[in-house]
A and B are shown apart, each in its own frame.
Chain A
Amino acid sequence: MSGCARLSDRMPEVVHGRSRWTPDEAAHLAGCADCRRELALVQATVAMGRKAPRLTDPAGLAATVERRLAGARLRRRDGTRRIAGLAAAAALLIMVWGRWPARPAPTAAGSPAQSLVPLPELELLDPAELDSLLQRMEMPSAGSSTLDAPGLGDLEDTELEQVLDTWEG
C-alpha cells in the first residue's frame, strides 16, 4: 500500500481523535499536497456535520415516535379485523348460496360422465323390460296416497339414483 493510500485509510481515525499520525505519516503529509487536500476534505466534512441542526428534545422525539408506532399498530389491528370480518361474511354468503332452494342440487350440475354412469344390472335389460319396470315403479302402491309417494318424475336426480341403487341392491 502506498503512503497516500495508507494515509487515506487512517485519516478518519486521526480526524476523529482516535489515533495520531506516526512520524512517518506526518512527514509524508508535510510533503504531499494531495494528501493535505484529502485531509482538508475530511476535516471540512466533519465540521459540516457539527453544523447540523441540533435535536431540541430527544425524549420528546422518542415519545412522538412511540405515539406514531402505537397508531400504526392500531391501524394494522383494525385492518386485520376488517379482513377477518369480510372473510366471515364471504363464508356466510357462500354457505347461504349453497343451501338456497331455487338452486339446483350440486350433483345436477355434475359432469356428464358422472350422470351417465351405467347401472350394471339395469343395462342388461332390453328396452321393453326397462319400460315395464319403470312403469311399475311409477304406479303408487296400494294404500298409500300419491301425496305420500311421489312419482319418479317428481324426484330429483339424486333421489332417483338413490331409488335405483336400492332396487339394484
Chain B
Amino acid sequence: MTPAPLPEPSDQALVAAYRHGDQRAASELVRRHGPAVARFLYSSGALAADIEDLVQETLFRAFRGLDRWRGEASFRSWLFTIAGNLTRDAFRRRKGREVISLEDRDLPDRADPDAELAAGELEERLRAELGRLPRLQREVFLLRAQEGTSYEEIAAALGTTPGAARVHYHHAVKRLKELVG
C-alpha cells in the first residue's frame, strides 16, 4: 500500500516559513499564485508583454509588506488587491493612450475558425470593457467569475461587505452581458 501523499502546506504555513528565511516557501507561493495573478492582471487589461514584470512587482510588494497580511482574506485575494493597485497605477500612467491592444496570439486550431475568431473578438471586447468598469466592480467580478472566490472572501480582501460585493458583481454582470449578445 502506498502511503497517502502529505497534505500541501497552507499559505499561512508557507508565509511563516518564508519569514523564518525559507526561500523555498517563497518559490512555492509564487508557483501557487503567480499564474492566477497573471490571469487577473491580463483580464484587468494589462498588456501581455507587461504581465511578467507586473507579477514580479506584485510579489515584491506583497513579500515586502507581509506584515500587513493578517490572514482575514486569502493570500491570493490579497495578491489580487496589490495587483489591482498596480493596474490602476498603470492605467493612470498611460491615460489617454491605448489601454488594450489587439494582439496576434497563437490560437489553438479548432474545427470552427469563425467561432474561434468570434470568441477571440469577444475576449478582446471583454478585456476592454473590464478596463472601463469602476475598479471595485472589475475586481469583484474577476475574483468571483474568474477565480470562483466567495463573496465573503472578496469582501475581506477588498475591504467591503459581502452584500456590497454582490451588488458590485451584479452591476458588472449587467454591463458586461451586453457584450455577449
Contact = CB atoms under 8 A, between A and B. Distances in A.
Given A53-B38, A65-B60, A12 B55 contact: no
A16 B173 contact: no
**Majority-rule SS of B interface residues:** helix
A106 interface: no
Given A46-B146, A61-B52, A66-B23, A51 B123 contact: yes
**Majority-rule SS of A interface residues:** helix
A41 B142 CA distance: 11
A61 B43 contact: no
A16 B64 CA distance: 32
A45 B59 contact: no
A52 B41 contact: yes
Contacts of A109: none
Contacts of A40: 180
Interface residues of B, number: 42
A10 to B, nearest CB: 11
Given A37-B181, A49-B42, A61-B34, A44 B126 contact: yes
A18 B179 CA distance: 26
A64 B30 CA distance: 11
Contacts of A47: 119, 123
A37 to B, nearest CB: 5
B43 A45 contact: yes
A54 interface: yes
Given A51-B105, A53-B48, A41 B145 contact: yes
B31 A46 contact: no
Contacts of A62: 23, 26-27, 29-31, 59
Contacts of B23: 62-63, 66
B145 A42 contact: yes
A12 B23 CA distance: 34
A53 to B, nearest CB: 5
A46 B177 CA distance: 15
A37 B122 CA distance: 13
Interface in B48-83: 48, 51-52, 55-56, 59-60, 63-64
17 contacts: A8-B173, A13-B148, A15-B148, A38-B173, A38-B180, A44-B119, A49-B42, A49-B146, A51-B105, A52-B43, A59-B27, A61-B34, A61-B52, A62-B23, A62-B30, A62-B59, A68-B60
Interface of A: 8, 11-13, 15-16, 18, 34, 37-38, 40-42, 44-56, 58-59, 61-66, 68-69, 72
What are the 3 closest A-B residue pairs judged by CB atoms, nearest first? A52-B42, A49-B39, A62-B27
